Amino acid sequence: MQNAAQFWDKVAEKYARSPIADMDSYTTTLERTRSYLSPDDNILEIGCGTGSTALLLAGNVGQITASDLSANMTRIGSEKAQAQGISNVKFVAAELFDSAVENGPYDCVLAFNLLHLLQDTPAALERINGLLKPGGRFISKTVCQPGSRAPLKFRLIKMILPLMQWIGKAPYVNFMEIAELEGMISDGGFKIIETGNYPASPPSRYIVARKI
């Protein structure tokens, strides 16, 4: 099996070309996130991929550090920023625990479609808390376990996932229950102030939390 950085480096070009599967849910996520941002905010996005979200939010904040463990992802993001003339988004190839993301403390940390890909979510949440200013915001969206009425496609994915991971065609994934995820965030020193599912099935849990 390959490590996470190797996997995402390999799929970066295809990922960049892939259309957003649910544009309505993505638009809702952006709108809700913008409502918590201010023009002078210093933002960190972890797991930024090729930077689409960071670049769309750039006009609402002062500065964004867009980080991803994949150097190919951040390279594509930097190229997109240059092509769009966006100068307040800095792309860095770094993991959450690397010193390259310590240009804070931050007003807000973003983690979209990331927490279910981490092997130690509680440790990641502790690190995120430490990177935030007092009262700073943590905004995330995470694919969660749909429960007993999981769509057939989701059940099939879970069945074949171990094999796909073994041959290097899928990353590590931990589909948590919503209550489990929210419990981890609360235990990580945050107060949850907004939640929603965008989309509803399988639930992609949108959570806004404030550092206590």
Q: What is the pLDDT of residues 85-104, one digit of tens each?
A: 999 999 999 999 999 999 88
The length of the chain, given as a count of residues: 212
**Domains: count for the chain:** 1
pLDDT for the residue 148: 63
pLDDT band per the 50, 70, 90 thresholds, residue 117: very high
The predicted model gives 103-109 an average pLDDT of 94
> Residue 168's CB: how many other CB atoms inside 10 A?
13
DSSP track, 124-188: HHHHHHHHEEEEEEEEEEEE----TT--HHHHHHHHHHHHHHHTTSS-------HHHHHHHHHHT
The predicted model gives 13-24 an average pLDDT of 94
% of residues, the chain, pLDDT over 90: 82
The predicted model gives 133-144 an average pLDDT of 97
pLDDT for the residue 103: 86
For the stretch 38-80, pLDDT in tens is 999 999 999 999 999 999 999 999 999 999 999 999 999 999 9
> Which two tokens mark 137?
């915001």
pTM, entire model: 0.91
Output the domain CATH number for residue 51. Answer: 3.40.50.150
- Domain with 163 in it: 4-211
